[in-house]
Structure 1
Amino acid sequence: MAHGEVLEFEEYVRTRQDALLRSARRLVPDPVDAQDLLQTALVRTYGRWDGIADKRLADAYLRRVMINTRTEWWRARKLEEVPTEQLPDASVDDSTEQHADRALLMDIMKVLAPKQRSVVVLRHWEQMSTEETAAALGMSAGTVKSTLHRALARLRQELESRNADDSAGAAESAVPTQARRVLEREERERCAA
């Protein structure tokens, strides 16, 4: 970069620093992180300063660099380990419990109509998409969604009635783990849609 452009960049930073720091504060709540964000964006912009033909657009360019930098930081932090006070309990797979869950789930599935059972099996056991399930069963995607919704509601109702009948107070253990996972995944998908 030519000496004149260096001076131009320094002047730009001096005059726009407060406004740019306010922009950084809007992107990250911590004041120290905001200063780090601005400094990182300024360093990245400095290397490309001569490529900004219209310097009136420098603020927009620098804000875009801040947004991209913040996104990079966020992605990197998602991958970091999170320290904890205690180690999580190691889970031990108990095949006996899994077999009991599967048997109970298969018993509960009997309350569904054949079409509902087919949709649940294809969507959740076979992990088929809505469109794949529709093609396999010869129905529309909307029909698959509504059938699945009604089937899962019926399964929930059956699980709740069986839990209510459990006089030992171990209602949670009566709900098969696999059935709970199917129902929870459906809830997440419905909320995400």
Structure 2
Amino acid sequence: MKTKEQQEAEFRAFATAQRDSLRRYAYLLCGDWFEADDLVQKALTKMFAAWHRVEPGGAPAYVRKIVTNVFISHRRLSWVRRERATSELPVQRLERPQEAVDQRLEMIAALNRLPARQRATLVLRYWEQLSVDETATAMGCSTGTVKSQSAKGLRKLKELLTESAVPVRA
């Protein structure tokens, strides 16, 4: 049996190795780097508490599942903390001279408009390149749910991007 110090050292090494990847994944889910940092921190805190029960080979998938669950839970509860919409636009405008940057920002904005489960499904399937089964495991749902959430999410994403500069393949 490993000592507490050995477990902590293993977890630190794991967290250090996974942090950047988890942060990028969390950003794709929430669309905000600061919120992504918070999601990763909460997920790693939960992972640390369960570290002694986690199989080393399954740890990356398990922590990704925790990030997904924290994101969905955070979105579900965020209605209390939401910013208020106003009729006035911000005065300052961002200059984005590069077309690829514009397209990426529009894609992130469109992803941000999807419901949390659809967004998580699309990010896991098409950004993280997980299979339907792996996505179902990461989200804690059935493969049928992954397929339906993917179809609904892609349909809505295509609808949102049709009027933008992002090229949409038929």
TM (norm. structure 2) is 0.45
State TM-score, norm by structure 1.
0.40
For the pair shown, which has the larger CA radius of gyration, 1 or 2?
A: 1
Q: Which has the higher contact order (CA 8 A, sep 6+)?
A: 2
